Amino acid sequence: MSKVVSFCCTLLLLCSSLLQADEAGWALFERVQQSVKQYNFDSSFVVFKGSQVETFRWQHGRKGDKEIEHLVPLDAEGVDILRRDGVVYYFLTDRPALVTYSNTIKELPAILFQNSQQIRQLYTAVPGSSMVMSGHTAQLLRLSATDPGRHSYWLWIEAESGFPLRIDVMSEQQAPLERWLVTHMRISAEFPDNLQRLLDSELPEPAPRAAGARLPDTQLQLTWLPAGYQLVDTPYVAPQLQQNLLSYWLLTDGLHQVSVFVQPSQRMPTQAYRDGATTIYMLSAAQHDITVIGPVSIDVAERLAGAVR
């Protein structure tokens, strides 16, 4: 009897320790999300994606109820992106600016901005060890996916400010698929002068969004969804894709999006490869080809393609 009681006590202590570690991890994650929304900062970062390397300058400022951030590519090619509150501007060199409504810049890591309660449903949060990174003390935070088909995240967080210094997107085998690495970061109490000028500038209003293309009626159905994902009602389809699509589904778990396209058969071989954390899987069937694109494992992409009936 005493052995049973001892085992139960040990089990309760273990569960309590895991719960405390999870809550400490989520408290650290809340600091990260607050840091990128509340501070005035000027930073530079590098994105490693497969064999590609991209560098950016990222500035953010908050003044009263106004928020602004500016993302500038430091490579020869790229798009200058500005967000003022809920409006995002894409400044193109040879065309008029593209203006959209959004509370975030989609080219920045979505894990930093999406609703934390939704993220809690998809991951466990466990603090790790500390290390010195670019002259800063950084605390590791592991966001481990509760479903094996979803990528996990490892974040290194500046101990004093809570600012993210590095984010690795991890495969099912815990190998990095993509890396987002801050090379310079300065937080200031003062609102930057250049952001003030951008805040005061006259900029175009967003144009009404054009209606998406209407796809032909079809008997095709997507008969399976990965855990945590839901279908997006009436997803937008670019008109230029209309002629090549028989059916299209857009899935989301609140953080990631996965697209499933069905096109007339081109008699191509089945293929699967990864572009960083994004899987691209193409299944060639007798009547049509199915393409799955999104940040899921190849096994999940294969099962999604096979679920088109």
**Residues 38 and 106 occupy one common structural domain:** yes
Q: What mean pLDDT, rounded, does the chain reach? A: 89
Q: What is the pLDDT of residue 14?
A: 42
pLDDT in tens, 75-116: 867 799 999 999 999 998 888 889 999 999 999 999 999 999
Q: What is the pLDDT of residue 223?
A: 96
Nearest to 181 by CA among 82, 28, 49: 49
Q: How confident is the model at residue 1 (pLDDT cuts 50, 70, 90)?
A: low
In this structure, the number of other CB atoms found within 10 A of the CB of residue 255 comes to: 19
Domain containing 235: what range? 230-306
HEC profile for 85-129? Answer: CCEEEEECCCCCCEEEECCCCCCCCHHHCCCHHHHHCCEEEEEEE
Lowest mean pLDDT of 5-19, 33-47, 130-144, 248-262, name the range: 5-19
CA distance between the termini of the chain: 56
Which residues are paired to 140 by β-bridges?
156
**Residues 62 and 182 occupy one common structural domain:** yes
Tell me how many domains the chain contains: 2
Note whether residue 131 is domain-resident: yes
Q: Which two tokens stand for residue 215?
A: 């796809």
- Global pTM? 0.88
Q: Which two tokens stand for residue 7?
A: 């085992």
Is the distance from CB of 257 to CB of 251 less than 8 angstroms? Answer: yes
**Residues 127 and 236 occupy one common structural domain:** no
**Residues 162 and 278 occupy one common structural domain:** no
Q: What is the pLDDT of residue 215?
A: 73
pLDDT in tens, 206-215: 877 666 667 7
Spatial neighbors of 1 by CB under 8 A, at least 6 apart, are none
- Give the span between the Cα atoms of 78 and 91, in whole angstroms: 10
**Residues 176 and 272 occupy one common structural domain:** no
Angle formed at CA 163 by CA 157 and CA 166, multiple of 5 degrees: 50
Instruction: Please report, for the domain that includes residue 275, its CATH number.
Output: 3.30.200.100
- Does residue 254 carry a pLDDT above 80? yes
- Give the span between the Cα atoms of 13 and 303, in whole angstroms: 39
**Token pair 């987002």 in the structure block, residue:** 180
**Residues 185 and 236 occupy one common structural domain:** no
Instruction: Please report, for the domain that includes residue 75, its CATH number.
Output: 2.50.20.10
- Does residue 309 carry a pLDDT above 70? yes
Q: What is the pLDDT of residue 4?
A: 53
Note whether residue 140 is domain-resident: yes
| 235-239 contacts, C-beta under 8 A, 24 or more apart | 236/209, 236/212, 237/212, 237/213, 238/212, 238/213, 239/210, 239/212, 239/213
Note whether residue 80 is domain-resident: yes
**Residues 237 and 167 occupy one common structural domain:** no
Reduced to 3 states (helix: H, G, I; strand: E, B; else coil), residue 220 is coil
Note whether residue 138 is domain-resident: yes
